[in-house]
Copies of this chain bind each other. A is one copy, B any other.
Amino acid sequence: MSVIRQDLITKDWTIFAGDRSGRPTDFKKVKEKKVLNEYEPCCPFCRGNDHMTPKEVFTIEGDDGWLVRVVPNKFPILEPGGKTETDIKRSAAGPYLEIDGTGSHEVIIESPKHNDNLCQLESGQVENVIRTYRERFIELSSNKNNKLIVIFKNHGNKAGTSLVHPHSQLVATPFIPSFVRNRFCESERYFNDFGKCVYCEMIAYEKKIRKRIIYENEGFIALAPYASAVPYNIWILPKKHQACFAKISENDIVSLATNLKTVIKKLYNLLDDPDYNYIIDSTPIDQAGSRFYHWHIEVVPQLITRAGFEIGSGINVNTILPERCAELLRATDT
């Protein structure tokens, strides 16, 4: 018989079916290995091709040129609009509501080199990437039109990217989506009931039972969540309570860089460079001081297909228990 587990925070359910003890080979993708060059004349993200993108809004410079470069997305889904909230047109169309597509959409180029991979970068360069995330988060938070900032990475075709040059993206939105609001409200409800941050409680419990921890260092803990939505789902959380990603300290940037790099390297080695997304889940901008929300990075490997049942019910169906994923990832070298 399968088991159904509830996510403590979102109250969403995952059905664990199948044999649930999955071997890593079940998920290894069949793909052609392509040897990439360090520089690619057609790639807009390679150092030397800077004219192929909009002008940069931020860089971290090294001895030979930029190390990390942030540019507005050439095909933005949202673009900067008016100066104040009231400049953004919200209009009714019959019973419906429409907003101008204002906000920001940026690309964070993680390395000058075309053939780099986040998990093979020097630690100092991963720190530069995270530092860049923070700087852009702070900068875009100062625009009162922005309500939520989503930083994410799409790695590989199944994760929704066709550009192989390592990069992340940032989107700032003029509203809070119900998906984020629900998660936020459920955390608040827990805080009202128990007087504690639900994420802090979860970390404390996971540290006690030690079955789903993948990797832990000074500032961060990586674990396979109890109701993992997909195989090899991973959350990386700051061990001390912190609601908003922008509050991350310099010390913690160093610690997070090691943790993130280690986790991605373990996935790379165990599953042969799987396609994956990661997302920084932080508070809405106006709630940076929240006592009940706790920012974290969610890593979502793209190993299975979401079908009609998942789409229609919002229930996840997974085939491997997080305890097993954590065990296999812990045992994987980096």
Contact = CB atoms under 8 A, between A and B. Distances in A.
Interface of A: 1-6, 8, 10-13, 15-18, 75-79, 81, 93-102, 148, 150, 152-154, 157-161, 169, 171, 173-175, 177-180, 182, 198, 201-202, 205, 208-209, 226-227, 277-281, 298, 300, 305-309, 311-315, 317
Contacts of A159: 305, 307-308
Q: Is the interface of A mostly helix, strand, loop or mixed?
A: mixed
Given A3-B98, A96-B226, 14 more contacts: A1-B81, A1-B101, A8-B97, A10-B178, A18-B75, A77-B309, A150-B312, A150-B313, A152-B308, A169-B308, A177-B315, A180-B313, A279-B312, A300-B308
A32 B187 CA distance: 48
B152 A309 contact: yes
A13 B308 contact: no
A256 to B, nearest CB: 17
Contacts of A226: 93, 96
A308 to B, nearest CB: 3
Contacts of A1: 79, 81, 100-102
A306 to B, nearest CB: 7
